Amino acid sequence: MKLRRVEIQGFKSFGRKTLLEFPEGVSCIIGPNGTGKSNVIDAICFALGYPSRNLRASRAQELIHSGVGGVNEAKVSIMLSDGDSSIEVKRRCDRAGRSVYKINSIVSNLDNMHETLGKYGVPRDGFNIVMQNDITKFIEVKPLERRRILDEISGISSYEDKKKKSLDELAVVERRISDTNLILSEKKG
Residue 31: pLDDT over 70: yes
Judge contact between 63 and 72, C-beta under 8 A.
no
In 3D, which of 79, 95, 84, 96 has the Cα closest to residue 44?
79
| 3-state SS assignment for residue 48 | coil
Other C-beta atoms within 10 Å of 156: how many? 14
Write down the domain spans for the chain.
2-130
User: What top-level class would CATH report for the domain 2-130?
Assistant: alpha beta
> What is residue 53's predicted lDDT score, i.e. its pLDDT?
59
Starting at the edge strand found earlier in the chain, the sheet holding 2-9 runs 18-21, 2-9, 73-81, 86-94, 99-103, 106-108
Q: How confident is the model at residue 120 (pLDDT cuts 50, 70, 90)?
A: confident
Q: What is the mean pLDDT of residues 14-31?
A: 88
Instruction: Report the predicted TM-score, pTM, of the whole model to 2 decimal places.
Output: 0.69
H-type alpha helices, 3-142: 37-47, 110-119, 134-140
Residue 131: pLDDT over 70: no
> What is residue 59's predicted lDDT score, i.e. its pLDDT?
72
**pLDDT, tens digit, for every residue of 48-93?**
988 665 666 767 777 888 877 778 899 999 999 988 889 999 999 9
Residue 113: pLDDT over 70: yes
